[in-house]
Chain A
Amino acid sequence: MKEGKILLAHGAGGKLSHDLIKELFLPFLENELLSCLDDSAIIPTERSRLAFTTDSYVVKPLFFPGGDIGRLSICGTVNDLAMAGARPLGISTSFILEEGFSKEDLERILSSIKKAALEAGVMVVAGDTKVVEHGAAEGLFITTSGVGIVPEGVDISGSHAMPGDFVIINGPIGDHEIGILLARGEFSLKGEIKSDCAPLNGLVKAILNACTDIHVLRDPTRGGLATVLWEIANSSKVGVIVEEEKITVREEVRGVCDLLGFDPFYLANEGKLVAFVPQKEAEKVFEAMKADPLGRDSVIVGRVVDENPGKVLLKTRIGGHRLLEPLSGEQFPRIC
């Protein structure tokens, strides 16, 4: 029996979440599909490869600038499928509602689910509803699962980064997490930043149309860009170098970070992806991304190298070097 208790930090998507999965979940549930620990599992069938994923949403507050828990629950799952290069086929949604929850709010959330599903071009095909006593859940929690089909010739995984690859990201980082914190009224900060919450399957389609040989796609959600890059460097056993100057952070987001001592590299995003692309295809993919509405602000931020396998190096704005380690400990609970 393991000792100790679950801490909020175990849910932060950083090193502790990782350790919890490795120490407790995998020993019971490990199999060759699960242990890849990618955003979606790829299940081979006779005809094609299916991508399958699931996620729970506990965000607080339920409504925030740029989205709500409903939109988030669709985008999150669509994005997990998209990060496997998969075309989403159908999504299931399960609701855990707290007794006393307002029907009006539920209606708003459902209408936003409908809208997000339309935007992503995916159907909600199954669902479940449970109600628990007052106090046993705060408002409502949603769990969504999704199935998709991985197109022929596409083989994307966090372990496929190769020396020489270019690293591209589709815009400024940190909007979602700072948007949520502001909406929560934490730290009595004023102002409004819109969450970047969006379904990325359209952008991924554009990327794959430009080049099927994409090595890695990942959405830097909890744990942020730093954690995702570190995970990729580790699974692929390569080094990654990124340039601080290239990675954009919105002025307002940087302001909040400076004020509170946050590092934007660890902030969650819900509408961003990093793509690891073979050097000779990089230009083409980059152009295709720029042409997509969700990729207009794309930038090439770094490269994959042979040296320092498992490590991510940041070239700082003043030209120095330092490590980019994964998120350690608690960031903020319930941001998605």
Chain B
Amino acid sequence: MNKSKRIDEGNIASIILREISGLADGQIRFMEVCGTHTVSIFRSGIRSLLPEGIELISGPGCPVCVTPVGEIDRAIALAQLKDVTLLTFGDLMSVPGTSSSLNQERAMGRDIRVITSPLDSLEIALKEKKRRIVFFAVGFETTSPAIAAAVKEAKRKRIDNLFLLSSQRLIPPAIRALLSPRKVKIDGFILPGHVSVIIGRTPYSFIASEFSLMGVITGFEALDILKGIYMLLCQKKEGRSEIEIQYTRAVKEEGNQLALKAMEEVFEPVGARWRGLGMILESGLTLREEFKEMDASLVFDIPYEDKKDPPGCICGKILQGLKSPPDCPLFDKRCTPENPVGPCMVSSEGSCAAFRKYGAFR
């Protein structure tokens, strides 16, 4: 973006904000269910600019945060096996398990590596044939197509030392779980952009049809989010509850069919546990029968065990929008980004980290 475009950004923002102020009337509460939105809202200082009555709360949109302790412990246990190399995405490294974290394990000499693309796992598995490579894959619909592609490629190349510990989750079932029974007042959703590029609009239609709530699929720039909020307020004013798309430059009605097909070929939905939300039916992804020989949860004899959240940590409540980070007695005291107690302080997309890093300007 050149300088003049950026100066425009300030002008356009003030125009949309004026419209928003005109529409704001009484208390209204919107939830975003995407870590990238959370970060963008804080980074651009949107909260500091909205009129009093409009409240933004964060939902279960940070993939690292919703991963329960039991799954972290399981990954750590796998990394402790002598011939195993564990691959994962960066943010997971410092998430505390029950008694350790992947970072601490790496410092003790375990072979744990951070990768940025699922395809990296293939290269590593091909290069290091003597080791068993386990990819601990956390993520939403956004990352699943690339993981599916990596799995297919591994099968095609007959790579037999690569395994997947799938901790992938799906957004729409989590929104449904949040709403039934509804424990927290929500008037509408700022729906995720990246996830929706893949899945399109239809999977969210139940929000409007069953719960009479509104939603806008929104992009990530500050202006996108302001516009998304404006569109939600318009619906409110006109008494509509619909799922609209603000992020039209990237999101199609039917999503990305190719990506969806790749996902479907490799994975099938399965019940998954979410931190805070517990077990949600068909909200996770597991490898289909023909890929089971790559499923680390079957190949390795390390069963999943339910573990307690760190004592005092209220991440679970925060992920449901029931509490806000400053409500946590440990926030910015015992729990800091350097010494995180819970995952919401670890992940760059976690609410606690965002509050602490960017400040609570309203």
On A, residues with C-beta under 8 Å from B are: 5-7, 15-16, 19, 187-188, 245, 251, 254, 260-261, 263, 311, 314-323, 325, 328-329
Contacts and interface: CB of A to CB of B under 8 A. Distances in A.
A318 B8 CA distance: 9
A182 to B, nearest CB: 14
The contact size tier of chain B is 35 or more
Contacts of B44: 316-318, 320, 322
A329 B44 CA distance: 22
B361 A321 contact: yes
Contact of A322 (B1, B104, B107, B359): B359
A200 B14 CA distance: 40
Contacts of A251: 1-2
A15 B48 contact: no
A312 B68 CA distance: 34
B103 A7 contact: yes
Contacts of B49: 318-320
Contact of B6 (A6, A245, A314, A321): A245
A69 to B, nearest CB: 24
A317 B337 contact: no
Given A16-B338, A329-B338, A316 B104 contact: no
A19 B359 contact: no
Contacts of B361: 320-322
Interface in B1-51: 1-2, 6-7, 9-10, 13-14, 42-49
Given A5-B108, A15-B337, A322 B94 contact: no
Contacts of B126: none
Contacts of B338: 15-16, 19, 328-329
Given A7-B103, A321-B45, 4 more contacts: A318-B45, A322-B45, A322-B359, A325-B356
Contacts of A15: 337-338
Given A5-B107, A261-B348, A317 B10 contact: yes
Nearest to B93: A330
B46 A318 contact: yes
B116 A318 contact: no
Of residues B45, B47, B116, B226, which shows the largest number of chain A Cβ atoms within 10 Å of its Cβ? B45
Contact of B358 (A254, A261, A323): A323
B337 A318 contact: no
A325 B42 CA distance: 13
A25 B107 CA distance: 21
Nearest to B36: A261
28 contacts: A5-B104, A15-B338, A187-B116, A245-B6, A245-B10, A251-B1, A260-B116, A314-B45, A315-B45, A317-B6, A317-B13, A318-B9, A318-B13, A318-B14, A318-B44, A318-B46, A318-B223, A318-B226, A320-B48, A320-B49, A322-B45, A322-B48, A322-B359, A322-B361, A325-B356, A328-B337, A328-B338, A328-B357
Contacts of B336: 328
Contacts of A263: 43
Q: Which 3 A-B pairs have the closest CB atoms?
A: A320-B45, A323-B359, A318-B13
Contact of B222 (A314, A318, A323): A318
Interface of B: 1-2, 6-7, 9-10, 13-14, 42-49, 94, 103-104, 107-108, 116-117, 222-223, 226, 336-338, 348, 356-359, 361
Contacts of A187: 116-117
B102 to A, nearest CB: 11
Contacts of B9: 317-318
A178 B10 CA distance: 27
Of residues A6, A19, A317, which shows the largest number of chain B Cβ atoms within 10 Å of its Cβ? A317
Contacts of B46: 318, 320
Contacts of B359: 311, 321-323
A7 B106 CA distance: 9
A83 to B, nearest CB: 26
A320 B47 contact: yes
Given A321-B45, A322-B42, A316 B222 contact: yes
A198 B8 CA distance: 34
A10 to B, nearest CB: 10
B9 to A, nearest CB: 5
Nearest to B345: A328
Contacts of B43: 263, 316, 322
Contacts of A245: 6-7, 10
Given A323-B357, A328-B337, A329-B338, A318 B10 contact: yes
A188 B116 CA distance: 10
Contact of B14 (A16, A319, A329): A319
A310 B330 CA distance: 21
B65 to A, nearest CB: 16
Contacts of A325: 356-358
B256 to A, nearest CB: 19
Contacts of B7: 245
B101 to A, nearest CB: 10
Of residues A19, A314, A329, which shows the largest number of chain B Cβ atoms within 10 Å of its Cβ? A329
Contacts of B107: 5-7
A3 B45 CA distance: 39
Given A7-B107, A317-B6, A329 B337 contact: yes
